């Protein structure tokens, strides 16, 4: 990577010198995924390191060591790209207490093209204890080299089994494949997508910071972001409910045991459409002195106003605020935040923190209905209400020397369990139920210690 930056004063204004900054950069990226021959499934004898013959019949000594049901061989790939960028930034203190900033940038990537982005912002201080700030701008987010070029390979199976619908059969036929027989789980294929376009965005913010006294500080910032051609994946439930609607999210998988070519889910990144987000960030800070030390209390919280997303360009919008929707498979908390209290006394620092996430409606889940004797009499679709969740954490630090300190802490002091969720979402999708591991920590009360030595 080669980067060149420079700046200088170009004029004198009422509030101070006007500064101009210029810069350029040049970068080359190379990516290689080089799994071992064993990881690629290219060995007949992994112990001796003997190469296999992909065309060898079953039972032959040179048959590849890839057994039925063991098809997670890693596929090697390599890719590279070149990129360059130029930018200019102007800082203008047009009056005492009022600064204006404007910048423009051009980025170009050899594999996805280029784009010009810009930003304008202001910082206004009408009084010594009041700051008003705001900005508008545009953005350009390119996919990574693996997102574009990673080789497609098996990535497990779907969380739930599915019956072949008429639309699924139609998609399978168009790909030269067939559906899985009966009520079955389908293979999931993951990999890069060379057709993935960069995300483009616009954003704006407006906020203030007010210090009514030296002990108190209050802040609030409204923000808005709009994204075009957003990166994402179609959720499993949405894909199998509307196969034709998401025809690009399907592929095929050859069964090692039978040779049959079956329909499979393709979980590569896609350009889903547009997304819009807005919210308010709050920050309250208080400082107090007492005989027991200096206490700092701070509350930081975010209130979500908007979260609307498309799954296909021009399609309907879905909002996951307070609702783990079936179409999106994820939730956005209406409220979340932290209240941190820090007490400093000599060499000791004590911190007590309160963490909070608001509740939400879970995904629709089909459950069995039982009679008094425990017999299944039917099924019912329910949307469980996931409760608000809060925990307390504690940490004490003893700085017994300038270069040494010892910290002891306790996470989740009251050993609070994550709130009940029976959806199939989460990092380990389909492998565990009872809570959503994307948002909550299942470890319960956790002790930890840390020794620090600076030299």
DSSP state of 246: G
Q: What is the pLDDT of residue 73?
A: 67
- Indicate whether 416 belongs to any domain: yes
User: Is 365 inside a domain boundary?
Assistant: yes
pLDDT at 72: 57
Q: How far is 215 from 347, CA to CA, in rounded Å?
A: 23
The Cα–Cα gap between 403 and 5 comes to: 37
Backbone φ and ψ for 88, nearest 5 degrees, come out as -140, 140
Residue 422: the pLDDT is 84
Residue 4 lies in a domain: no
Radius of gyration of the chain (CA): 28
Residue 106 lies in a domain: no
Q: What are phi and psi of 451, to 5 degrees?
A: -110, 130
Residues in the chain: 455
Q: Rounded to the nearest 5°, which phi and psi values hold at 141?
A: -120, 110
Tell me the sheet residues that pair with 135. 121, 205
Q: Residue 178: which domain range?
A: 113-453
Strands 231-232 and 270-271: antiparallel
Please report whether residue 271 resides in a domain. Answer: yes
- Considering the entire predicted model, what is its pTM? 0.86
**pLDDT at position 58, please?**
73
Q: How many domains does the chain have?
A: 1
Distance CA 366, CA 352 (A): 41
State the pLDDT at residue 101: 98
Instruction: Determine the number of helices (DSSP H) and then strands (DSSP E) in the chain.
Output: 3, 26
Q: Which residues fall within 8 angstroms of residue 417, CB to CB, at 6 or more apart?
A: 435, 442, 444
Q: Identify the CA nearest to 337 among candidates 353, 325, 316, 351.
A: 353
What is the C-alpha separation between 138 and 107, in angstroms, rounded? 13
Does residue 71 fall inside a structural domain?
A: no
pLDDT at 68 (0 to 100): 43
Position 59 scores a pLDDT of: 75
Strands 98-109, 77-95: pairing is antiparallel
Determine the pLDDT at residue 71: 56
DSSP symbols for 324-339: --TTT---B-SEEEEE
Full DSSP string of 52-113: P-TTPPTT-TT--S--TT---PPPPEEEEEEEEEEEEEEEEEEETTEEEEEEEEEEEETTTE
Q: Is residue 24 part of a domain?
A: no
| Residue 366 in domain | yes
* Lookup result for tokens 């061989």: 73
pLDDT per position in the chain (455 positions), as tens? 899 999 999 999 999 999 999 999 999 998 888 888 877 778 888 778 888 887 888 777 887 765 444 455 677 888 899 999 999 999 999 999 999 999 999 999 999 999 999 999 999 999 999 999 999 999 999 999 989 998 888 888 998 899 999 999 999 999 999 999 999 999 999 989 999 999 999 999 999 999 999 999 999 999 999 999 999 988 888 899 999 999 889 999 988 778 899 999 998 889 999 999 999 999 999 999 988 999 999 999 999 999 999 998 888 999 999 999 888 889 999 999 999 999 999 999 999 999 999 999 998 888 889 888 889 998 888 889 999 999 999 999 999 999 999 999 999 999 999 999 987 665 445 556 789 988 999 889 999 999 999 98
Give the separation between CA 119 and CA 91, rounded to whole angstroms: 12
Question: In this predicted structure, what is the pLDDT of residue 431?
Answer: 53
Three-class SS of residue 133? strand
Residue 152, token pair as written in the block: 């497609």
């Amino acid at each position: 990577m080669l980067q060149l930056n420079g700046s200088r004063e170009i004029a004198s204004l009422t509030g101070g010198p006007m500064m101009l900054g210029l810069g350029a950069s040049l970068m080359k990226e190379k990516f290689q995924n080089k799994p071992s021959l064993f990881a690629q499934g290219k060995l007949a004898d992994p112990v001796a390191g003997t190469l296999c013959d992909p065309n060898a019949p079953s039972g032959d000594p040179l048959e590849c060591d890839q057994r039925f049901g063991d098809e997670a061989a890693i596929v090697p790939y390599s890719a590279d790209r070149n990129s360059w960028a130029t930018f200019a930034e102007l800082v203008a203190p047009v009056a005492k207490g009022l600064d204006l900033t404007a910048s423009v940038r051009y980025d170009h990537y050899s594999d996805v093209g280029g784009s010009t982005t810009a930003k304008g912002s202001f910082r206004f201080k009408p009084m010594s204890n009041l700051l008003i700030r705001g900005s508008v701008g545009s953005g350009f987010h390119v996919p990574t080299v693996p997102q574009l070029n990673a080789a497609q390979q098996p990535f497990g199976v779907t969380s739930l089994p599915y019956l072949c619908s008429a639309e699924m059969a139609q998609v399978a036929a168009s790909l030269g494949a067939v559906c899985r027989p009966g009520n079955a789980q389908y293979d999931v294929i993951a990999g890069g997508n060379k057709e993935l376009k960069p995300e483009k965005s616009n954003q704006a913010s407006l906020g203030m910071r007010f210090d009514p006294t030296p002990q108190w500080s209050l802040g609030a910032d409204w923000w808005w972001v709009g994204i075009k051609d957003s990166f994402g994946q179609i959720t499993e439930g949405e894909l199998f409910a509307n196969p034709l609607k998401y025809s690009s999210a399907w592929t095929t998988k050859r069964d090692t045991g039978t040779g049959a070519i079956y329909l499979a889910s393709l979980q590569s990144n896609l350009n889903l459409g547009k997304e819009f987000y807005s919210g308010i960030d709050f920050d309250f800070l208080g400082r107090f002195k007492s005989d027991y030390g200096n206490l700092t209390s701070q509350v930081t919280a975010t209130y979500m106003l908007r979260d609307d997303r498309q799954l296909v360009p021009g399609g309907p919008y879905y909002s996951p605020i307070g609702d783990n929707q079936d179409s999106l498979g994820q939730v956005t908390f209406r409220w979340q935040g932290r209240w941190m209290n820090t007490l400093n006394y000599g060499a000791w620092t004590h911190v007590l923190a309160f963490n909070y996430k608001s509740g939400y409606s879970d995904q629709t889940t089909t459950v069995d209905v039982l009679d008094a004797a425990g017999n299944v009499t039917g099924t019912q679709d329910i949307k469980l209400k996931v409760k608000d969740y809060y925990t307390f954490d504690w940490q004490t630090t003893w700085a017994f020397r300038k270069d040494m300190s010892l910290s002891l802490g306790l996470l989740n002091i009251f050993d609070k369990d994550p709130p009940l969720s029976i959806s199939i979402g989460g990092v380990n999708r389909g492998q565990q139920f009872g809570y959503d591991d994307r948002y909550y920590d299942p470890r319960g009360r956790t002790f930890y210690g840390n020794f620090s030595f600076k030299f």
